Structure 1
Amino acid sequence: MASGSIWTLALLWIINLTEARTQDIHVTCLYTEDCILPCLFKPVGGEVVRWYSPSNSLLLSSDQNGPQDQNYVNKVAMFQNQVALGNGSLLLQRCQPQDRGRYRCHVTGQQEVPDTTVVVRVEAPMQSLALETTRLSGYEEVLCLTRNVYPAPQLSWSTQPPMAKDAMKYTLHKRETKGLYTLESKLRKLRGVASLTYVCTVSAAYGAQTWRASLTETDMSSTEGGDLTLPCVAPADLLPNFTLTWSFLPTDQSSVILTYNSSRHWVAEAWGGHVQLDTLAVKSGNGSLRLRNLYTKQHTGIYTCSFTAPKHTHVAHIRLNVTSIRSEKVQTEESNSWWIAAVVVAVLAVAMAAIVGIVKLKDDCSQSGKTMEEATMMHDVTSTLPSKQHLSSHHTRIQ
């Protein structure tokens, strides 16, 4: 019985030792930055640490000067003064995509130390995600773009309210420059659908990051001197840490109207008397802007509402056309003039048609009367002429 227990304990010890030997440590290194590959052990004295590259060639040894692999010259180093303290970690400098792989730390000394395997992943995380409209291809499209990412991320499209996947036609292009990827996707805008929000989601290959950008566009109009509210509501998952920015683009140069966040509320001096933001509503994501006392040329243009938060942005473009009351009055008068002119033309056309009809009717009647008269005259002439029999008898009597 005791013998069986001993063998069981021995088997468990072997399994644990095997797991310890094969246990992997995963390390994610950032692109162009230095990274430490850990290798810790209990020092006894006289240990030598050797690191092996992903190709299993000797990379660096603590008892030798410099890397053994020429590909890693000025690339790797150990903390020599730390080896005697049980720290044989490797410094991997200026990480590049080609540095990823499995590195092995092997320690030799007076007692056996399990190898340490470090799985290195290199990542260039996303820094930004842009979403904008474009018409370069001849169609009105929404462009989603991110640059200098590694590995290549995954991109997907969606809408709010949701639309069928087969209704969304988009292209996806991936370019590689110096080991980094640029991801660009264009989605053709859906026609006949009002108040649609386009959402582009990009997820990192390692699953550590997910970025999201959304875009909506609206056309609005108002009259000079009136007030108007420009709608802008943030998605629920963007709250609560965000910055709200309103800007205005009358021609080709954008100007900031106001900014708002948890610590600051700033309004441009030029817009001080014309805009109003509900600071209570904006905390719950309603960033709608109230415009007051509108002017025709001064306030006609594109207004942009932008909610920005870590890894998430929402943009609303509003094209506003402000017309003057005078121009509307002129348009109304011109419209009335056109109606009057159209009615007059129609009446004249009917009158002309009636006149032509009457004249034609008179001509027809006159022609008919003339024909009747000629027929009557011929009848009278025929009646007065002697018949052939009468002439014949008369001729006989003369003889």
Structure 2
Amino acid sequence: MHVDLGSLAHVTLQLLDSRRPFTCGRLTTQRRPSDMAETHGLMIMLLIILEKLLLTNSKVLLPDANVTCIIPDDCILPCSFRPTGTVVIHWYKLQIPVHSYYYNKDQFGLQNKHFSGRTCLFNSQIPHGNASLLLRRVKVQDKGRYKCYTSTRKGNQEIFINLEVKALIQSVIMEMTDEMVTCSSHNIYPVPQVTWATDPPSAQEALQNSTIKSTDHKGLLTVESTLRILGNLSNYTYICSFIAADKTQVWTASRKNREGVTQEEGHALTIPCIAPHSLQNFSLTWTFTSSAEPTVILRYDSKTRHTFNLWEGQAELDQDLLLLGDGSLLLHKPDIKEHSGTYTCTVSGLQSRHIVQTKVNITVASISVDKQSVQRSWWSTAASAAFFLFTITVALLQCIRRRGTYDIYSVMYSSLCNER
């Protein structure tokens, strides 16, 4: 005979839903706020159904339920029964003992060491028909089919739970060289789908990538996908998305390496950084790399609208453009020594990260037209004076040769080379 286990699971969760703390073994836990409606009528209906089943058959067989738990959180495997005095409870994963309860207390003698210290029942709720199991610090190895066996003087009941586990995608890291762009994510489970795109768009045939995965000792995965650069490095924005196996999560990273920028020192310079899509809540970080490690020079938080600027007076953001997703950096008077290097803009939003990298070369300022005119005038005057002195010197030397020992000082105060 079959009973909808969804109702049983709902009842179990409803029993746990209380404003008061509940106790699991020696652990006292405050229940999180629940958004489930009151289901007292459903509980009464369920008890009536179970009573009828028990009257016709001493063993109740129920369909499997599916539960998904997040690594490494705690998780509840629901199990309900009709309370009729003393009860025996056994939890198994296949044939492996997970948790046992009889003689009105927990029994750990046969518990498999994999579950040691990680399981408990809600003892105060057992008299109310709650045999649910709390599994702490869920692992990849916990995945599988569990059986909840309960036995009372009215009969036996078996409920099967299919436990799926997943480790959420925490972030996606994107790196780029002159030839390849790589996307990677660590400590995830199960294997996600990886997709690539570019802006402007490219044909899917051009986006052939290589994806590899590796597993650590905990069973968690590292997934790395590599794509060859299309054309010049600065032609495209590369977009990589990791899609969870159950489609409930999408994490996107994008990156653009811009062409190098050259500017004369002392002249204002704007380094572009525009988010690829509209973001409601985001943070923006500018870093600068010269010869040493990257240095954070500016941070902005859209929620608080607070700006942390280590280059106050040297660089700033346009507050109005920021609200439109434009985080371009304005350098007021760039210096050849202090401001030449690589600037990296990182825009982080909900499950997304966008990076723009720009190499900036500050050069010596060229001379203006007015300064050039002044310099030309100065050189012209200097050249004329030098030519005049040269002419006098030559004339004096000629006079000395012609008059022999004639006093040179007389020559300086008389007409040049006049005959007496």
> What is the CA-CA distance between 1:29 and the residue it aligns to?
2.5
CA 1:160 to 1:126, structure 2 compared with 1: closer, same or farther past 3 Å?
same
Q: For residue 98 of structure 1, what is the amino acid of its counterpart?
A: Q
- Match for 2:67: what amino acid? V
CA distance in 2, matches of 1:127, 1:327: 53
Contact 1:60 1:67 in 2 (8 A): no
Residue aligning to 2:179: 140
Paired AA for residue 145 in structure 1: S
Answer yes or no: is 1:246 the counterpart of 2:286: yes
Of 310, 328, 332, which residue of structure 2 is paired with 1:288? 328
Q: Tell me if the contact between 1:59 and 1:67 (Cα under 8 Å) persists in the aligned partners.
A: no
> How far apart are the structure 2 equivalents of 1:93 and 1:275?
50
- Deviations along 1:281-303, one digit per CA (max 9) or x if unpaired, are 21121111222122222211111
Q: Deviations over 1:319-366 (max 9, x none)?
A: 11121124999xxxxxxxxxxxxxxxxxxxxxxxxxxxxxxxxxxxxx
Amino acid at match of 1:225: G
Determine the C-alpha separation between the residues in 2 that align with 1:221 and 1:117: 68
Partner of residue 223, structure 2: 183
Counterpart among 202, 208, 212 of residue 252 in structure 2: 212
Q: Which residue pairs with 2:204 in the alignment?
A: 165
Q: Deviations over 1:180-230 (max 9, x none)?
A: 111112211111474411011111223232111000011222122211211
Alpha-carbon contact 1:62-1:80 (below 8 Å) kept: no
Instruction: Give the 5 Å matches for 1:269-348.
Output: 269=310, 271-326=311-366
Is residue 131 of structure 2 the alignment partner of residue 88 of structure 1? yes
TM-score normalised over the length of structure 2: 0.66
Alignment check: 8 A CA contact 1:141 1:188 kept: yes
Counterpart contact for 2:233–2:257, Cα < 8 Å: no
- For residues 196 and 328 of structure 1, do their structure 2 counterparts lie closer, same or farther at Cα, with a shift above 3 Å needed? farther
Moved more, 117-126 or 33-42: 33-42
CA contact (8 A) 1:232 1:305 kept: yes
2:301 corresponds to 1:263: no
The CA RMSD over aligned residues, in Å, is 2.9
5 Å matches for 1:32-51?
32-51=72-91
Contact 2:234–2:256, Cα closer than 8 Å, also in 1: no
CA separation in 1, counterparts of 2:347 and 2:134?
40
- Whether the 8 Å CA contact 1:258–1:265 is kept in 2: the answer is no
Q: Could you say which residue in structure 1 is the equivalent of 2:143?
A: 100
Deviation of the 1:59 alpha carbon: 4.2
Which 5+ residue runs of structure 2 have no aligned equivalent?
Answer: 1-48, 54-59, 370-420
* Alpha-carbon distance, 1:169 to partner: 4.0
Paired residue total: 308
Match of 2:320, SS state, is helix
Pair 1:73–1:282, CA change in 2 (3 A) = closer
**Distance in 1 between the 2:235 and 2:115 partners?**
58
Closer, same or farther: CA 313–203 of 1 in aligned 2, 3 Å? same
Take 1:146 and 1:177, find their aligned partners in 2: how far apart are those partners?
13
Q: Which has the higher helix share?
A: 1
Matched, 1:66 2:146: no
Deviation at 1:114, TM superposition (A): 5.8
Question: Residues 21 and 195 from structure 1, CA distance in 2 versus in 1: closer, same or farther, beyond 3 angstroms?
Answer: farther
Gaps in structure 1 of 5+ consecutive residues: 1-12, 330-399
Deviation at 1:85, TM superposition (A): 2.1
- Name the % identity: 36
